[in-house]
Amino acid sequence: MAEPRRPLFLDDLKVGQRFETASLQVTREQIQAFAAQFDPQPFHLDEAAARHTFFGGLAASGWHTAALTMRLQVESGLPFANGWLGAGGTLEWPNPTRPGDVLRVVGEVVDIHPSKSRPDRGIVTVRSETVNQDGKVVQVTTAKLLVFRRPAAAGAG
């Protein structure tokens, strides 16, 4: 976040381009509040109840990890001119996010697919890992994003 972020268009991206976001810390209270609203299961809500479950202790909802990953990418990932417009993708949660974890996202452009029918845009595939303070991967995401060309280039094309 130290340098100004130049908006990126499809023309500015290349396969292999990497990025790393800032980091943020997740608190126990945030984990419980998210779970109460969206994923009310004992292992996301209550430390004592969570101890006797698969997780062996309080763990964030995978959807909380996904939402935090999105925030990191929007705030300090690749600054797409049209924003992060996701069409879909894949998710894996190899390890749970725990109270106090400090998360950041490390990502890479793995595919760029210009649209044949609509020359002003393309689908960019970004693979990213959300890692905690110990380097453990809590989420692997492969996202298909809609990215537009720089308007001038589209006009000329």
Contact residues toward a second copy (CB under 8 A) are 34, 37-43, 53-54, 61-63, 66-68, 70-71, 74-75, 82-93, 140, 146
Of residues 69, 77, 62, the one with CA closest to residue 20: 77
Structure tokens at 100: 């106090």
CB of 39 to a second copy, least distance (A): 5
CB of 57 to a second copy, least distance (A): 15
CB of 113 to a second copy, least distance (A): 16
CB of 125 to a second copy, least distance (A): 13
Residue 125 parent element (H or E)? strand 121-131
Q: Which is nearer to a second copy, 70 or 153 (CB)?
A: 70
Distance CA 151, CA 11 (A): 10
CB atoms within 10 A of CB 103: 23
Q: Which is nearer to a second copy, 13 or 146 (CB)?
A: 146
Helix, strand, coil shares of the chain, percent, nearest 5, are 30, 35, 40
Please give the distance of CA 18 from its chain centroid, rounded to a whole number: 14
Q: Which is nearer to a second copy, 16 or 29 (CB)?
A: 29
Q: Which is nearer to a second copy, 16 or 81 (CB)?
A: 81
